[in-house]
Structure 1
Amino acid sequence: MATSESDFLGDSLAFTSDLLESYGKLDISKRTYVLGVLVPSLGFFTLTILTAVLLELPLFVRLPIPGLGALVFVAAALYPKVYLSQRKVAIEKQLHLVMTHMTVLSTTNIDRMEVFRTLAAEEEYGILADEIAHVVHLVDTWNQSLDDACRRRAKEVASPALSDFFDRLGYTLGAGQELSDFLLSEQSAMIQNYSTVYEGALGNLEVMKDLYMSMILSMTFALVFATVLPILTGNDPTATVSAVIVLFMFVQVGFFLAIRAIAPYDPVWYHPEEEDAPTDLRLLASFVLGATLTVALVVITAGGLFNFTPVGLGDLLFFLDEVPLPLYLAVPVTPLVIPGVVYRIEEQMITARDGEFPNFIRALGATESAKQSTTSAVLETLREKDFGPLSPDVDRLYRRLNMRIGPVESWRLFSVDTRSYLIQKFSEMYVIGRQMGGDPKQLGELISRNMSTVNQLRQQRQQAAVTLIGLLYGITTSSAFAFFIGLEVVNVLADLTEEFSVSGSGRFDFGQLIYAGVYDIPLIEFLLLTIILFNGVLSSLMIRTIDGGNKMNAYIHFVMLVWLGCLTAVGTRMLVSTILAV
């Protein structure tokens, strides 16, 4: 017992020490952060405590208020450590690309310092480029050797993986080994480390999914409790339901942000800034069509509901005697499925091209090396090989090179055509490596091996996304079922109370036992539908965050989740009213 207490005390002291140390590594001074962020958050926490004490609301409604203040204060206190953690994640999520790029450059005929300067100028690498720029600054400004600069910078970086790499690189270069030899020998270790980090992130997502399910089920119970309890207590149900709904939204937003922070950084799409891809017009047209139809349905639905327009949703759904309220939410958002489907089809094509690119680049490099010929001459025969969805792009690459368009520009347009982030990065590495005198066979095998590893990890990520989809759809169904069971029970009890009040003998007032008069059933139903809409938005974004796809694809799941929740609401109310009416 004493040992466990001492271990806990030691861990607490170590955590506190690391936290205080992180305050000194912020971009602003420690004094500015404490006075500008920490003190105001403490004041907000105090204000929420006073609000909870002074408000005359049920205890379970007041308790979350100081909880929010405590959350803000704890977040402000822990932010410096979180900031360093974010820098660590930002470094490690692109470390494999930077090391592959560095390896490609090191095998060419340029100086090793030029390798570091080239990578430091790559703005896309973000914090990693800044860290490499620090090494360049130590060499160019302070006249240190490259090995000393690497060892010095290794003590300052937030990522243990990059720190270890800089440290080993510094000692290896100091011992006289060539940069290219060291980096080529590091490839297997780099790929293994990247796979470990990637799979670890997917494992953390599995834990988050379990926590999310537990929290949402708890919040569902709380919302049903807030809906049903006022019929016995006489409290305002609108206030209690609204308070729990706000807490429900906070929980979902918190989990979404946590999942976004944990999910591995591995974008699928390449978004060129200078030029539109051939498919951009079709994608834009699908979005405009879906958005226009949605706006039109919203206008028709709202106008008919409030008698602003001669045509309403009831006229569109003429086959229904009475349009249930949930359909006023589900029908208007339905056209958004159009851009979702179009973007989904394009993303599947990008994924298929990614699967074929390792074979293509390996064959291209090996053939160029064997024939000692140009890329254009090799592609003349290689384009006849079947590379699946990548074949049309390979053919266009050959045509551009054959028309004497520069290699860099031709490969850039090739990347634009494929719309693939990985193909853009690796094809750029290949063409630059070839221009600087690198061995095409070595470049092709290096790029092919690394991209194949990423493709295998993406398959695991897709499996995690599939399990999340099943979980979110199940939670949506069960939550909507629970919400509207509670609402319909209250509605039936309200009708019974009214019947007893009309036919009662006067010896017993049924309204003293059940407070049905405090309910505004249509308003509460509207609030519950708001939760279904919000759940559809957050759940669809969670799915897109985990699978790494384009956010436009979220429209598919958004529409399906909203329809699932609304149909469950309609079915539940019909089922409960039928059972209780028997």
Structure 2
Amino acid sequence: MGVKQAGQGLATAMRLTEEVMASYEKLDISKRQYVGYVLVPAAVVFLLTIAGAFLLPLPFAARVPIPMFGVLTLVSAVIYPKIYLSSVENRIDNQLHLVMTHMTVLSTTNIDRMEVFRTLAKEEEYGAAAEEIGRVVSLVDTWNQSLDDACRRRAKEVPSDAMADFFDRLGYTLGAGQSLEDFLVSEQDVMLAKYETLYESSLSNLEVMKDLYMSMILSMTFALVFAIVLPILTGNDPTATVAAVIVLFVFVQLGFYAMIRATSPYDPIWYHPEERAPGDLKLWASLGIGGGLSFLLIGFTAAGMFGYGPGLPGLLWFIDDVRLPLYLAVPISPLFITGVILRSEEQAISARDREFPSFVRALGATESAKQSTTTDVLTTLRDKDFGALSPAITRLYRRLNMRISTEGAWRAFTRDTRSYLIQKFSEMYLVGRRMGGDPKQLGELISKNMNAVNQLREQRRQAAVTFIGLLYGITAAATFAFFIGLEIVAILAQLTADFELDQMDIGQIVYPGAYDIPLIEYLLLTVVLFNAALSSQMIRKIDGGNPANGYIHFVLLTWLGAGTAIATRVLVNAILSI
């Protein structure tokens, strides 16, 4: 059994090595340049960190993370080509469902099939997927290859397996004489099934990440508690030991943030138009008020600490003893205002997203049945209740009725909704109608795709809720453990000073004099603040919302950590003083 497992492990390692070596061939620079510009400097950094671990006059616990940083640098440089190609694959896969929907819409119009590819290649928003389509166009226009040959040739080079499979099947289908429209319409179910599988796979990976994150953070919490408590028995410098473990703690959290960012499916909620959109003033005002008040409180608190005013105790005059954690939590509290307002707008965007499939399906079916313009159809359709989307539909009708250009009216409609998906699908519907597409077919196609995305978003929201609960629980538990250790050490140090035990033989067993309790408390509160900031952004990456919306969780997590720190020290002090 052991031999079989060893053989499987060796086969996996060999396969991974082959994939890494193959990825060097697909870089935009030569292998010689990559070795000279990246691998050699990384190896030098690794050697320097090894030397630093032996030569620097630091405690052993403080020297351990130094070579770990060098190993991380070297390993990252070696496997970066593989990581880069994987990131390109993820970017293509995340946009592929929109690309194929857009391609299908264009194929149902009266334009040439090569014009479909040229139009998509110019869509910069599709990123790497548009670049791959542009390479197919180049093979046709520059090298005079047929479209089916170009698709089959590009299928061998594209980093994404899903797009390679699509190009391959498209090439053989076109070569057999089937039209582009028939192929793409028949591919919609396959495409949606693959996108749902990819999306759900990413959510499953996040579940694994959640469990791994909890295990690693709890391990680092125990390590930090030991770093606080053990020096009282060993006599080592506790400040340097705690600082070293905190650095390692930060690296672990940053690593998990990077992994969560790479794992989370790309599905933005917000649309950010270049022109000014309705509600921009409210959003910017909330950011200005929250940020401005926070800076004002930070300045007020800092001035009091340097003796230029009453400071935080003057502001919190109703509290007898203003503990140090409050100096962390109170100044950032106004950011909660910004987070609440952005959260409210984000919930409104999600509500409009849920209504849009019904609207576009009804619009397409009615236009097809009445053989009339969008303006005539909206005359009656605007009276139908589409929930949060109704005000934007009414404004769309008014703009079209005032003979504003159709493109301008729909562009204003997407600005009103502020939704990324509504902007993309509205643009597809408009282009399809302008080029002669069947409105009923367009409406059903777009509605089906957006309903699928809305269902996946609901799964994502549920995954985000469980992750939020985990982060809040870990924050409370870790802070509780930190400050239990700190309070125990502080009480032992006080007892030693009160009874003058350092002048007795016990002074050789317990070393309380090495502790700078206020400095260690500052370091621990830095961890609490960093954890709150990074955790709030992890939440935003998981649910796909606006980063500024994370201010709510940033403030709440900071207050949770500060409150837990104060309550823990008071509770432990009360228990041990009985």
TM-score by length of 1: 0.98
Q: Does 1:173 align with 2:174?
A: yes
| 1:379-418 equivalences in 2 (<5 Å) | 379-418=378-417
RMSD over aligned Cα atoms: 1.1
2:538 aligned partner: 542
CA distance in 1, matches of 2:295, 2:170: 58
2:480 aligned partner: 481
CA distance in 2, matches of 1:125, 1:537: 30
| 1:490-529 equivalences in 2 (<5 Å) | 490-501=489-500, 508-529=504-525
The one-letter code matched in structure 2 to 1:395 is: T
CA distance in 1, matches of 2:337, 2:7: 60
2:438 aligned partner: 439
1:355 aligned partner: 354
2:369 aligned partner: 370
1:290 aligned partner: 290
The CA deviation string for residues 121-173 of structure 1, in whole angstroms up to 9 with x for no partner, is 11111111110001100111111110000000000000110000000000000
CA distance in 2, matches of 1:564, 1:7: 46
**Aligned partner of residue 92 in structure 2, secondary structure:** helix
**Aligned partner of residue 157 in structure 1, secondary structure:** coil
CA distance in 2, matches of 1:9, 1:51: 33
CA distance in 2, matches of 1:481, 1:377: 64
Most deviating of 34-43 and 555-564:
34-43
**Aligned partner of residue 139 in structure 1, secondary structure:** helix
The one-letter code matched in structure 1 to 2:160 is: S
CA distance in 2, matches of 1:190, 1:483: 50
**Aligned partner of residue 385 in structure 2, secondary structure:** coil
2:426 aligned partner: 427
CA distance in 2, matches of 1:411, 1:85: 36
How far does residue 56 in structure 1 lie from its aligned partner after superposition? 4.2
2:73 aligned partner: 72
**Aligned partner of residue 333 in structure 2, secondary structure:** helix
2:39 aligned partner: 38
Q: Does 1:159 align with 2:130?
A: no
**Aligned partner of residue 94 in structure 1, secondary structure:** helix
Given the alignment, which residue of 529, 540, 554 partners 1:558? 554
2:277 aligned partner: 277
Identity across the alignment (%): 67
The one-letter code matched in structure 1 to 2:562 is: C
CA change 1:398–1:295 in 2 (3 A) is: same
Q: Does 1:87 align with 2:83?
A: no
CA distance in 1, matches of 2:497, 2:507: 9
**Aligned partner of residue 213 in structure 2, secondary structure:** helix
CA distance in 2, matches of 1:19, 1:57: 37
| 1:104-143 equivalences in 2 (<5 Å) | 104-143=105-144
1:303 aligned partner: 303
TM-score by length of 2: 0.98
Asked whether the 8 Å contact 1:201–1:263 carries over to 2, the reply is yes
How far does residue 4 in structure 1 lie from its aligned partner after superposition? 4.1
Asked whether the 8 Å contact 2:136–2:150 carries over to 1, the reply is yes
**Aligned partner of residue 110 in structure 1, secondary structure:** coil
The CA deviation string for residues 481-540 of structure 1, in whole angstroms up to 9 with x for no partner, is 0000000000000111011118x9x6x344222111111111110110000000000000
The one-letter code matched in structure 1 to 2:403 is: R
1:253 aligned partner: 254
1:147 aligned partner: 148
1:243 aligned partner: 244
| Structure 1: gaps of 5 or more residues | none
Q: Does 1:28 align with 2:24?
A: no
Most deviating of 362-371 and 298-307:
298-307
1:318 aligned partner: 317
Asked whether the 8 Å contact 1:224–1:486 carries over to 2, the reply is yes
CA distance in 2, matches of 1:289, 1:11: 54
How far does residue 9 in structure 1 lie from its aligned partner after superposition? 3.2
1:192 aligned partner: 193
The one-letter code matched in structure 2 to 1:292 is: G
CA distance in 2, matches of 1:509, 1:102: 83
**Aligned partner of residue 353 in structure 1, secondary structure:** helix
**Aligned partner of residue 326 in structure 1, secondary structure:** helix
The one-letter code matched in structure 2 to 1:546 is: I
CA distance in 2, matches of 1:318, 1:467: 38
1:341 aligned partner: 340
| Structure 2: gaps of 5 or more residues | none
Asked whether the 8 Å contact 1:501–1:510 carries over to 2, the reply is no
Asked whether the 8 Å contact 1:497–1:510 carries over to 2, the reply is no
How far does residue 3 in structure 1 lie from its aligned partner after superposition? 4.3
CA distance in 2, matches of 1:247, 1:133: 44
How many residues in Structure 1 have an aligned counterpart in Structure 2?
577
CA change 1:262–1:56 in 2 (3 A) is: same
